[in-house]
Amino acid sequence: MTDRQSKIAVVTGAGSGIGRAVAVELLRAGWSVALAGRRMETLEKTVALVPGAPSLAVRTDVSRPEDVEALFAAAAELFGRIDLLFNNAGTFGPGGVPVEDLPYDAWRHVVDTNLNGAFLCAQAAYRRMKEQDPQGGRIINNGSISAHTPRPLSVAYTATKHALTGLTKSLSLDGRPYRIAVGQIDIGNAATDMTARMEAGALQANGEVVPEPVMDVADVARTVRHMAELPLEANVQFATVLATAMPYIGRG
């Protein structure tokens, strides 16, 4: 993927956190990027971090099929093709709520965003990657450490992230005939606004609240770029990137 014209990415959840870091990394590396998120003002702030780079900001609620279709139609119309989807948009939902007290609406919001939204974006990308010439592309799903091991009182988030692993595997298998490579990055404690509370103290399996270390989100962005820039004959199926000393191995 050395031709600038071939490097076209869609990044969801690009207005903050990991999505912003990945969008900026790709833009600085010469990619053209369509940035999706719920708020235009935050997307525009991301774009402003790399002045003059080829970009498109599209207000998108990934849980709405019509929004997703409009996003990919706009990206394909402007840039001509889709080479990469970083399927990143997601939400933790309400934290610290016992299973028996979790409102159905809260459960549904997490499922609609983290799982249904990921499916809709992957489906839209898949359709274009299958039909475009040259055929193919890459989808990278943002999983989580919680795709492997849950935190206490996180049933909705954990369930969707486990499901995302199944989505990744199925898309990877079904994409083989069409040169569509699909992988997943599982991230633990990247320093963003969403994880700021980890440094203050996070609930552990033994009931204690303990501060946890975090890592620079730029390290995650560089890993995504590495995965994205591999030739389509190679794929990082699963990558786990985490703060070295976070309580994951031996979470208990």
The pLDDT tens digits along the chain (252 residues) read 334 455 999 999 999 999 999 999 999 999 999 999 999 999 999 999 999 999 999 999 999 999 999 999 999 999 999 999 999 999 999 878 999 999 999 999 999 999 999 999 999 999 999 999 999 999 999 999 999 999 999 999 999 999 999 999 999 999 999 999 999 999 999 998 777 778 788 888 888 888 889 999 999 999 999 999 999 999 999 999 999 999 888 664
DSSP E strand stretches across the chain: 8-12, 32-37, 55-59, 84-87, 137-142, 180-188, 202-203, 209-210, 238-242
CA nearest neighbour of 182 among 222, 130, 134:
130
248 catalytically annotated:
no
Residue 57 dihedral angles phi and psi, to the nearest 5°: -105, 130
pLDDT at 205: 86
Q: Is the pTM of this model over 0.85?
A: yes
Which structural domains are found in the chain, ordered by start?
Answer: 4-242 (3.40.50.720)
Q: Read out DSSP for 66-85?
A: HHHHHHHHHHHHHHS---EE
pLDDT at 252: 47
Which tokens belong to 22? 């990945």
Q: Select which of 104, 157, 178, 248 is catalytic.
A: 157
